[in-house]
Amino acid sequence: MGLLIDGTWSDQWYDTKSTGGKFERSAAQFRNWVTEDGAPGPSGRGGFAADSGRYHLYVSMACPWAHRTLIFRRIKGLANHIGVSVVHPDMLGDGWTFQTDSHGAQGDGLFGLDYLHQLYTRADPAYSGRVTVPVLWDTHHNTIVSNESSEIIRMFNAAFDRLTGNTRDYWPEPMRDAIEQVNTRVYDTVNNGVYRAGFATSQSAYDQAVQALFDSLDWLETRLSAKRYLMGTQLTEADWRLFTTLVRFDSVYHLHFKCNRSRLIDYPNLWAYVRELYQVPDVADTVNMAHIVRHYHYSHDSINPNRIIPINPQLDFLAPHNRDQRPAA
């Protein structure tokens, strides 16, 4: 685990001393947008037009943020248009690597690099900051378009529609404000909440994070008892953003991140909802539980210093969900 300082790799863990034991995630720095015609998006510069074969996605199968982008790549019919490279699940002193001695880690498909940080310095030789997945790479300008998953999924949602003919919209204009409200709470207390609990280095920081997390899971359980999806009858990005945390919950967050007041399977509605989303065509292919379990337990030696990989529950994500028999509201 480390970061780049003026383009040089430095192996250091997250600093929680200056924040009273709290884990604070730093903002992603590459914020350009792929758009249909290359016009600038909401941030960054223009010049990134949607095109087949031009963009490449770097992901970890373990990472919930990268997972969102993999799901959108599949459900928006982009698999034949955007290539993928999967990093090795172990993230140790060199950060994410392209080692291939783990099933499903195929190395760097574009340049044959050894480390993900080399991709960042290829885009910006003086880059300072964390080296995170996902990364959307542009082979045309030889740079990173974006390393912010919440924005990459919105690009995938719309920018390539003319190319693919897939116009399914997971961020419908009339629902955006309502989606944002749900996203904000889910991001703060659930997606990032599990990390804030797991990486806390003081009791109070942990208590605060874990309480907010379970308050939100209770709220979501109630919401999903009345609605099939978070926004009602329509599956939206809000659901996919929640899914990638929930699908990891019992295997890693419950034990490794000490989020153990309840398990996902203790919530009948949340558990059936996760099974339904898992069973959406092509989504199961994006869930690699072996990489998920290995990455967290092996990489975070401050939490699990002996790197013992636990036995873990056997979860049947393919069991019938019966969510289609719920009231439509």
> What DSSP string describes 40-70?
--SSS-S--B--TTTEEEEE-TT-HHHHHHH
d(CA 79, CA 83): 7
Place of tokens 């499903």: 104
Please say whether the beta carbons of 23 and 16 come within 8 A. Answer: yes
Please say whether the beta carbons of 247 and 287 come within 8 A. Answer: yes
Tell me which residues in 134-173 interact with ligand GSH (CB under 6 A). 134, 147-150
Q: Specify whether 63 is catalytic.
A: yes
> Is 121 a binder of ligand GSH (CB under 6 A)?
no
Q: How many residues bind ligand GSH (CB under 6 A)?
A: 14
> Is 192 a binder of ligand GSH (CB under 6 A)?
no
Our CB check for ligand GSH shows the closer of 134 and 198 to be: 134
Q: Is 189 annotated as a binding residue?
A: no
Q: Is 149 annotated as a binding residue?
A: yes
Q: Which of 63, 120, 127, 273 is catalytic?
A: 63
Q: Is 162 annotated as a binding residue?
A: no
Our CB check for ligand GSH shows the closer of 157 and 269 to be: 157
Q: Which stretch, 99-107, 129-137, 215-223, 307-315, contacts ligand GSH (CB under 6 A)? A: 129-137
d(CA 70, CA 156): 10
d(CA 273, CA 271): 5
d(CA 109, CA 256): 32
> Is 115 a binder of ligand GSH (CB under 6 A)?
no
Q: Which of 195, 253, 273, 278 is catalytic?
A: 195
> Is 242 a binder of ligand GSH (CB under 6 A)?
no
d(CA 303, CA 201): 10
- For 152-173, letters b (16+ CB in 10 Å) and e give bbbbbbbbbbeebeeeeebeee
> Is 28 a binder of ligand GSH (CB under 6 A)?
yes
Tokens of 238: 């809000």
Please say whether the beta carbons of 263 and 250 come within 8 A. Answer: yes
> Is 132 a binder of ligand GSH (CB under 6 A)?
yes
> Is 193 a binder of ligand GSH (CB under 6 A)?
no
> Is 63 a binder of ligand GSH (CB under 6 A)?
yes
Q: Specify whether 195 is catalytic.
A: yes
Question: Least separation, in Å, of the C-beta of 38 and ligand GSH?
Answer: 22
> Is 133 a binder of ligand GSH (CB under 6 A)?
yes
Q: What share of the chain is helix, strand, coil (3-state, %, to 5)?
A: 40, 10, 50
Q: Is 133 annotated as a binding residue?
A: yes
Annotated binding site: 96, 130-133, 148-149
Active-site residue list: 63, 195
Annotated binding site for glutathione: 96, 130-133, 148-149
Which chain residues interact with ligand GSH by CB under 6 A?
Answer: 1, 28, 60, 63, 65, 130-134, 147-150
